[in-house]
Amino acid sequence: MWLPAAVLIPAAGGVLGLFAQGKWRRRVGAAAASASLLTAWIVASSAWCQGPARYRMAGWGAPLGIDLRLDGLAAAFLLLTATVAAMTAVFAWSAERGPTETVPGNFWPLFQFLWAALNGLFLSGDLFNLYVQLELMTLSAIGLIGLSHQRAAIEGALNYLTAALLGSFAYLLGVGLTYSAHGVLDLGMLSHRISASGSSWLMLSLLSVGLLLKTAVFPLHFWLPEAHAKAISPVSALLSGLVVKASFYILMRLWLEVFFGSVSLQTGSLLGALGSAAILWGSVQAIRQRRLKPMIAYSTVSQLGYLFLALPAATAAGAGPGAWEWKAEAWNGAALFALSHGLAKASLFLSAGALISSVGSDEIARVHGLARNLRGFAVAFGVAGINLVGLPPSGGFLGKWLLLGALLRSGQWIWALPALAGTLMTAIYIFKVLERTFLSEEAIDPGAGETRPVPRGMEIAALVLAVISVLLGILPAELLEILRRDSPFGMGGAE
């Protein structure tokens, strides 16, 4: 199938959007978004209709040229991107008619470019091409953050850009070392040539440090809360839902496929420790917040920590089919968690956006009793919140279940403790909001009762994302089948 279309079509849509003016901007933007959605669906579904695919760009395959590869994991992330992006587009479209926090017309072209970068990143099979995709993604995100024009957003954008550049340079240094030692940039070919050694460890470390900085792992997370909280809500949804997952996706590819076997338990435990610190610290900060969007942003820091709990399990000593099972389970859990978190977090930010649009601010004190007036917001927040806490049945629950199972079976049970603590703390800050929304009888602030009606599209977008995130937990068999299609941690596996 036409894999490049997944990158070319969104980019073309963005270019067209640059020329549109006035009310055509969102019309062209919506048309472009629809085309991108359709393309993503066609490409992703070809993964299970026709099986995994490899596309040689410019007709030159690896190692001279750049290959695009589609497997189950890539297809799953393409769909995640398409779903979140589509609902964000619905939100942004409706927001133009909303009372406040309207979405400027400049949003649409940058949104398309971000989408193109994400798709390209998920499909790319070349180490340096991934660097360029990351830069494209970062610069689009920076422009999107700048849409809010507030001083805090500009500061957040500058810190984000600085951190991202630092990460990119670390990654680039890793690319240089890898190429100098192995002479190719193609991920598949590298995985055949790389064996565990000191130099492999150095290459992987450099690549990983750069990517960890971009995934905002504690203690390199400092840039995230401000950038995500101060952007306009659809942008926050894209950032927390998709952009931070992209660097984690690359990490997964590198750890599982290219540098398989180069990672020791010590490194895995170190990352598990950092992940635990992220879970705990992020949750504490989230509980302390008085406004919704910063709370959700800190929640992102916390939830991203869960992804790294897969590493102690995946690197624990063990061989044979039993060990392979729980290693695969650990990675499947992390991937599933990433997917459902992307959906749920995007939903939360869109709900927050609907709230701001209606009430004018996202102070948690003002959500008292809003379930009556802003039903859609309340339900979406509730459903997405359930996913975040990890209650069954939801994708979040399933992801955590797999992760914990893998940790216990591999003997790394100690990491289950921060996971459980994190779940508890997540419940605290989620239910704090839900309790006030649903159960509060009267409003504390006399002026808070006034809610303006919110365009239906905004609430629907948030709701759809929340529901899908829960559905991920209800269809485990199909979903895991998708993830395993020719994936490194499917039953085929690397090695």
Q: Which pair of tokens denotes residue 394?
A: 């939801």
Of the candidate spans 31-39, 182-190, 347-355, 433-441, the one that interacts with another protein by CB under 8 A turns out to be 182-190
Query: Any contact of residue 50 with another protein (CB under 8 A)?
Result: no
Q: Which pair of tokens denotes residue 39?
A: 């393309």
Closest CB 58 distance from another protein, rounded Å: 4
- What crossing angle do the helices spanning 320-359 and 476-484 adopt, rounded to 10°? 110
Peptide bond into 219 cis (omega under 30): yes
Q: Which is nearer to another protein, 78 or 189 (by Cβ)?
A: 189
List the x/- string, 19-48, binding to another protein by CB under 8 A: x-----------------------------
Half-sphere exposure in the Cβ direction for 135 (13 Å, CA): 10
Cα 390 to chain centroid distance, Å, stands at 17
Q: Of these, 23, 34, 50, 176, which contacts another protein (CB under 8 A)?
A: 176
Is 278 within 8 Å of 217 (Cβ atoms)?
yes
How far is it, in rounded angstroms, from Cα 68 to Cα 306? 29
Helix, strand, coil distribution of the chain in percent, nearest 5:
75, 5, 20
Of the candidate spans 63-71, 318-326, 363-371, 417-425, the one that interacts with another protein by CB under 8 A turns out to be 63-71
Query: Any contact of residue 109 with another protein (CB under 8 A)?
Result: yes
Q: Which is nearer to another protein, 25 or 345 (by Cβ)?
A: 25
Closest CB 229 distance from another protein, rounded Å: 14
Query: Any contact of residue 231 with another protein (CB under 8 A)?
Result: no
Residue 252: phi and psi, rounded to 5, are -60, -45
Q: Which is nearer to another protein, 5 or 402 (by Cβ)?
A: 5
Peptide bond into 393 cis (omega under 30): yes
List the x/- string, 141-160, binding to another protein by CB under 8 A: -xx--xx-xxxx-xx-xx--
Of the candidate spans 61-69, 242-250, 258-266, 365-373, the one that interacts with another protein by CB under 8 A turns out to be 61-69
Query: Any contact of residue 195 with another protein (CB under 8 A)?
Result: no
Closest CB 383 distance from another protein, rounded Å: 32
Closest CB 52 distance from another protein, rounded Å: 18
Q: Which is nearer to another protein, 170 or 338 (by Cβ)?
A: 170
Closest CB 328 distance from another protein, rounded Å: 32
Q: Which pair of tokens denotes residue 485?
A: 């299609």
Closest CB 11 distance from another protein, rounded Å: 6
Q: Of these, 52, 63, 360, 393, which contacts another protein (CB under 8 A)?
A: 63
How far is it, in rounded angstroms, from Cα 97 to Cα 152? 25
User: Measuring CA to CA, which residue among 432, 435, 426, 433 is closest to residue 283?
Assistant: 426
Number of residues that bind another protein (CB under 8 A): 66
How far is it, in rounded angstroms, from Cα 30 to Cα 234? 14
Cβ burial 157-171 (10 Å sphere, 16+ → b, else e): bbebbebbebbbebb
User: Measuring CA to CA, which residue among 212, 30, 209, 225 is closest to residue 108?
Assistant: 30
Q: Of these, 1, 31, 38, 165, which contacts another protein (CB under 8 A)?
A: 165
Q: Which pair of tokens denotes residue 193?
A: 């040539």
Q: Which pair of tokens denotes residue 386?
A: 């359930």
> Which residues sit at the interface with another protein, rule CB under 8 A?
2, 4, 8, 11-12, 15, 18-19, 55-60, 63-66, 104, 106, 109-110, 113, 116, 120, 128-129, 132-133, 135-136, 138-140, 142-143, 146-147, 149-152, 154-155, 157-158, 161-162, 165-166, 169, 172-173, 175-177, 179-185, 198-199, 202
